Amino acid sequence: MKVACIQPTIFENRTKCYNEIELILRELLEEHKICDIICLPERWVPFFRDSTQNFQDQKGDDYTFIKTLAKEYNIKILSGAIWEKRINSKKPTITCYFFDENGEEIGRQDKIHLYAYEREHFESGKELNVFKLDNSHYFTILICYDMAFFETPRLAIENGADILFSPTQIRADGMENWKVYLKARALENRVPIVACNTFGKFMKRKFLGNSKIISFHEGYISPSKLKIVEGPKNSRGFIFDNVDLNFPRKLRAIRFKEQIDKNKIKVKTIN
């Protein structure tokens, strides 16, 4: 499966952000003629102190832009996180849309684990969706903080996901923890992970990018061997890799046979 992350510079002007994404998409497709699916970072549009300017109406301009790109370039795209207001919701939602190569919306995934200030301003997602990627493979979208908890990735894997996509917004001082989370989730579930991080500066916070595609070297079973392809650090750009989704299925089958039901393990407190 040929997968990629687009890591654009965040400008203060939304139109410039749109132009930047399309420019990098063209650069990606010039170098790699075929790409099956592209993921954007959690945040790729301006961030304003006036929070009302950060929210889009449901299926607003950001949605339309990505939908149009998918159709024009005939490629599957994950929209990154869009902050949108929905008619029947009390608070806005952080959501990622999945568009197919015809520009058709297949579905969306709301952020389930809200981080810090987000809990005050947003409504959390209540469902975890598993999307069909091709005739035999499936994927799940875990937005940023959803990857920091082992339950959500494991639930996705137990319900058929072959690869996890994670639009993220990890600032500079959280990069080391993020790397550990990604490796741990990949290893404990024996699943490839595509994590696309934000690049830019806003609200005195610096975001370095350094997106990652984590997969497995074929043939290495015990121990399994991670293959990690990293994107640009502290600059714009893209990251691309051809990820094997079938070999990890074998690894998962072995891994889950070794799993012990936690309810069968007795816990004893010794004073």
Q: What is the mean pLDDT of residues 172-184?
A: 97
Q: How far apart are CA 77 and CA 135, in angstroms?
A: 17
Residue 267 lies in a domain: no
Q: What is the mean pLDDT of residues 89-113?
A: 97
Q: What is the pLDDT of residue 236?
A: 97
Would you say 174 and 162 are in contact if contact means Cβ atoms under 8 Å apart? no
Out of 40-44, 55-59, 134-138, 239-243, least confident range: 55-59
Mean pLDDT, rounded, of the chain: 95
Residue 169 lies in a domain: yes
Residue 266 lies in a domain: no
pLDDT-above-90 percentage for the chain: 91
Q: What is the mean pLDDT of residues 88-111?
A: 96
How many separate domains does the chain show?
1
Residue 269 lies in a domain: no
Domain that holds residue 30: 2-261
- Amino acid letter, 201: K
Residue 268 lies in a domain: no
For the cut 80, the answer to whether the pLDDT of residue 249 exceeds it is yes
Q: What is the pLDDT of residue 53?
A: 82
Residue 211 lies in a domain: yes
For the cut 80, the answer to whether the pLDDT of residue 244 exceeds it is yes
What are the residues whose beta carbons fall under 8 Å from the beta carbon of 7, sequence distance 6 or more? 24, 41, 196, 197, 198, 199, 209, 211, 231, 232, 236, 237, 238, 239
Kindly report the CATH number assigned to the domain that includes residue 43: 3.60.110.10
Residue 241 lies in a domain: yes
Q: What is the pLDDT of residue 47?
A: 86
Give Dmax (Cα) for the chain.
Answer: 66
Q: What is the pLDDT of residue 266?
A: 94
Q: What is the pLDDT of residue 239?
A: 98
pLDDT digits (tens, 9 = 90+) for 132-145: 999 999 999 999 99
Q: What is the pLDDT of residue 112?
A: 98
Convert 161-176 to b/e letters by CB count within 10 Å (16 or more is b): bbbbbbbbbbbeebbe
pLDDT digits (tens, 9 = 90+) for 5-52: 999 999 999 999 999 999 999 999 999 999 999 999 999 999 887 777
Residue 270 lies in a domain: no
